[in-house]
């Protein structure tokens, strides 16, 4: 398959390595300019953002929400059958406040409205280290589950297969309206659960409690915490 990735931060860069490593064609862009990709660690071809949307099957958006909302002119250039994957999360301490999200609109529903087309929500609920280091071959014991939400069944199935290829057990979380179940602050968010435990965590998610738990976890970070410390903290506070 042919992938375009906008954003070469931890998630976007890691996905570029994973996808390129499994034989897919990968193009990577930065919304500012291709010069901002210099000296960054990613796999694939560096291209201007206007080029990343051309001749691809899947476009991955790995950007903060406040950047995505300005991408509509670029997204409008996509062919209609290109799948758009949204990996973003909303953090009020980092992002400009979004009234609709604060009032309960799922983040990727808001993203879809900004860019004028449906997205598939995936790769938002694992830490970059998890994505890079803890994927396993299909049928290997101890695989971590990953939630995927979307309105188009065929698009979602394709993204779930991609999740499987990069080393995780996909879990169908239903429509995009249901994607809040793997937002920050929920039991499914960055807790490295098995496929079965993830299904249970998605069911146990509390929409009202999630924003409070998301904001609470930041108060408990300490210098020197390891990746496993962070995962355990998330499990404790999000009840994963």
Query: How many distinct structural domains can be found in the chain?
Result: 1
Closest CA to 170 of 160, 179, 178, 157: 160
Which residue range forms the structural domain that includes residue 127? 2-238
**pLDDT single digits (tens) 15-66:** 999 999 999 999 999 999 999 999 999 999 999 999 999 999 999 999 998 8
Give the Å distances, CA to CA, from 204 to 102, 157, 171. Answer: 21, 24, 15
pLDDT at 173 over 80: yes
Q: What is the Cα–Cα distance from 161 to 176, expressed in whole angstroms?
A: 18
Q: What is the Cα–Cα distance from 23 to 200, expressed in whole angstroms?
A: 33
Tell me if the pTM is above 0.75. Answer: yes
pLDDT at 240 over 80: no
Rounded to 5 degrees, what are φ and ψ at 121?
Answer: -90, 120
Q: What is the Cα–Cα distance from 63 to 220, expressed in whole angstroms?
A: 25
Closest CA to 182 of 163, 205, 161: 205
Confidence label for 75 from pLDDT (cuts 50, 70 and 90):
very high
Q: Which helix (H) or strand (E) holds 5?
A: strand 2-6
Read off the CATH number of the domain in which 220 is found. Answer: 3.40.50.720
């Amino acid at each position: 398959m042919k992938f375009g990735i906008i954003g070469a931060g931890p998630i976007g860069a890691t996905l570029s390595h994973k996808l390129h490593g499994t034989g897919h064609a990968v193009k990577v862009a930065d919304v500012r300019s291709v010069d901002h990709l210099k000296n960054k660690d990613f796999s694939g071809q560096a291209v201007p953002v206007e080029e990343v949307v051309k001749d691809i099957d899947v476009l991955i958006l790995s950007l903060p929400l406040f950047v995505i909302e300005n991408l509509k002119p670029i997204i409008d250039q996509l062919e209609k059958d290109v799948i758009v994957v949204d990996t973003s999360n909303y953090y009020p301490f980092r992002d400009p406040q979004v009234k609709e999200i604060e009032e309960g609109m799922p983040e990727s529903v808001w993203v879809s409205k900004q860019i004028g087309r449906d997205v598939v929500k995936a790769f938002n609920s694992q830490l970059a280290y998890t994505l890079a280091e803890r994927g396993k071959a299909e049928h290997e014991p101890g695989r971590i589950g990953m939630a995927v939400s979307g309105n188009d069944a065929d698009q979602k199935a394709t993204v779930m297969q991609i999740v499987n290829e990069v080393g995780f057990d996909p879990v169908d979380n239903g429509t995009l309206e249901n994607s809040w179940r793997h937002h920050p602050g929920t039991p499914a968010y960055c807790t490295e659960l098995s496929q079965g435990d993830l299904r249970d965590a998605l069911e146990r998610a509390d929409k009202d409690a999630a924003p409070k738990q998301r904001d609470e976890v930041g108060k408990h970070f300490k210098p020197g915490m390891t990746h496993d410390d962070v995962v355990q903290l998330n499990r404790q506070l999000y009840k994963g």
